[in-house]
C-alpha cells in the first residue's frame, strides 16, 4: 500500500458492511467520511484518494473535458484500483466479499467501472450521481448476488438524462440487482440521497 494516500477507519460493528469511499473531483479521502458514518455507523471505512490530478483536483481517472473521458486511462486506473482494494483488504483485514462502494460523482463513476471490469473487487455499491463512462455491459453472471443503488437527480446538468437507465442496464447485464433512486436534485447531494442509501442498506 506504499505510495497510496488512503484512510482506514476500523469499524466497531462486525455486522455492518465495510465501505469503500470514493470521493468526487477535487475531493479527498476525508470528504465522505461523516456521511458514511451517518449512513452506516460501525462500518469499517477504506477511503483511497484519487491519484489523478486535474490542475490540482484529485480524480480517479483522466478526462479531456467534462464528460469526455480518456478510456485507456479509465481502464488502467480501474484495474489498478482493484489491485489496491485487494491488497488493502488483505493487509488491513477487511472483508472484501462484503465490501460496498460508496461513491459520489467521479467516485461513483469509478465504482461503476469497477463493477463492470473488476466484479470481484466489490460486493455491490451505492453510487451517487453516476453516469455511463464505459459503455460496456458487465460480463454475464459476473455480478450475480450483488446489489447496486444508483441515485440521480432530475436536473443534474452533468449527467445526460438517459445515462442512469443505461448504466442500470449495463450492470444488470452482469446479473446485479440494480435499484434506481431519482430525486428532484442537481449534481449536489440532498437529504433524499442519504434516505435512499439507508433504505438500500436495510434492503440487503
Ligand atoms: C467525471 O468526470 O467522472 C464526471 O464528469 C463527474 C465529475 O467528476 O464531474
| DSSP calls for the chain | -TT--EEEE--S-TTSPPEEEE--TT--TTTTHHHHHHHSTT--EEEEPP-EEETTEEESS-EEETTEE-HHHHHHHHHHHHHHHHHHHHHHT--GGG-EEEEETHHHHHHHHHHHH-GGG-SEEEEES---SS--PPPTTTTTT-EEEEEEETT-SSS-TTHHHHHHHHHHTTT-EEEEEEES--SS--HHHHHHHHHHHHH-
Q: 2: pLDDT confidence band, cut at 50, 70 and 90?
A: confident
13-25 in b/e form (b: 16+ CB < 10 A) is eeebbbbbbbbbb
The span from the CA of 125 to the CA of 13, in Å, is 19
Q: Is 67 in the pocket of ligand 1 (CB under 6 A)?
A: yes
Q: Which of 74, 77, 158, 187 to mutate to test the pocket of ligand 1 (most atoms within 8 A of CB)?
A: 158
Q: 83: pLDDT confidence band, cut at 50, 70 and 90?
A: very high
Q: Is 113 in the pocket of ligand 1 (CB under 6 A)?
A: no
8 is catalytic: no
φ/ψ of 151, rounded to 5, equals -115, 115
163 is catalytic: no
What does the pLDDT read at residue 105?
98
Ligand 1, atom 1: nearest CA belongs to which residue?
106
105 is catalytic: yes
The span from the CA of 197 to the CA of 122, in Å, is 17
Which atom of ligand 1 is nearest the CA belonging to 108? 3
Which atom of ligand 1 is nearest the CA belonging to 67? 5
Which atom of ligand 1 is nearest the CA belonging to 59? 8
What percent of the chain has pLDDT above 90? 99
Domain residue limits at 16 = 6-203
Asked if this assembly's ipTM is beyond 0.90, the reply is yes
The mean pLDDT of 93-102, rounded to a whole number, is: 98
Structural contact between residues 69 and 59, judged by C-beta atoms closer than 8 angstroms: no
Residue 1 forms part of a structural domain = no
pLDDT tens digits for 99-153? 999 999 999 999 999 999 999 999 999 999 999 999 999 999 999 999 999 999 9
What does the pLDDT read at residue 123?
98
Residue 188 forms part of a structural domain = yes
Residue 21 forms part of a structural domain = yes
One of 31, 43, 47, 156 is an active-site residue; which one?
156
Residue 49 forms part of a structural domain = yes
Q: Is 142 in the pocket of ligand 1 (CB under 6 A)?
A: no
How many independent structural domains does the chain possess? 1
What does the pLDDT read at residue 68?
96
Residue 178 forms part of a structural domain = yes
What does the pLDDT read at residue 11?
98
The span from the CA of 26 to the CA of 53, in Å, is 9
CATH classification at residue 131:
3.40.50.1820
What does the pLDDT read at residue 120?
98
pLDDT tens digits for 62-82? 999 999 999 999 999 999 999
What is the overall mean pLDDT for the chain?
98
Residue 106 forms part of a structural domain = yes
Q: 28: pLDDT confidence band, cut at 50, 70 and 90?
A: very high
Amino acid at each position: 500500500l506504499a505510495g497510496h494516500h488512503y484512510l482506514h477507519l476500523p469499524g466497531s460493528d462486525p455486522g455492518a458492511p465495510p465501505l469503500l469511499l470514493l470521493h468526487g473531483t477535487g475531493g479527498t479521502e476525508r470528504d465522505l467520511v461523516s456521511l458514511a458514518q451517518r449512513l452506516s455507523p460501525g462500518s469499517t471505512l477504506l477511503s483511497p484518494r484519487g491519484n489523478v490530478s486535474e490542475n490540482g483536483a484529485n480524480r480517479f481517472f483522466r478526462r479531456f473535458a467534462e464528460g469526455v473521458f480518456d478510456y485507456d486511462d479509465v481502464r488502467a486506473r480501474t484495474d489498478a484500483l482493484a489491485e489496491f482494494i485487494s491488497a488493502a483488504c488483505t493487509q488491513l483485514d477487511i472483508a472484501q466479499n462484503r465490501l460496498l462502494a460508496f461513491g459520489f460523482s467521479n467516485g461513483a463513476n469509478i465504482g461503476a467501472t469497477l463493477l463492470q471490469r473488476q466484479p470481484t473487487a466489490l460486493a455491490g455499491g451505492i453510487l451517487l450521481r453516476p453516469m455511463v463512462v464505459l459503455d460496456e455491459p458487465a460480463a454475464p453472471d459476473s455480478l450475480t448476488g450483488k446489489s447496486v443503488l444508483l441515485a440521480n437527480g432530475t436536473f443534474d446538468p452533468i449527467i445526460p438524462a438517459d445515462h442512469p437507465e443505461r448504466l442500470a442496464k449495463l450492470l444488470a447485464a452482469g446479473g446485479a440487482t440494480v435499484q434506481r433512486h431519482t430525486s428532484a436534485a442537481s449534481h449536489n447531494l440532498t437529504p433524499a440521497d442519504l434516505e435512499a442509501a439507508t433504505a438500500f442498506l436495510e434492503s440487503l
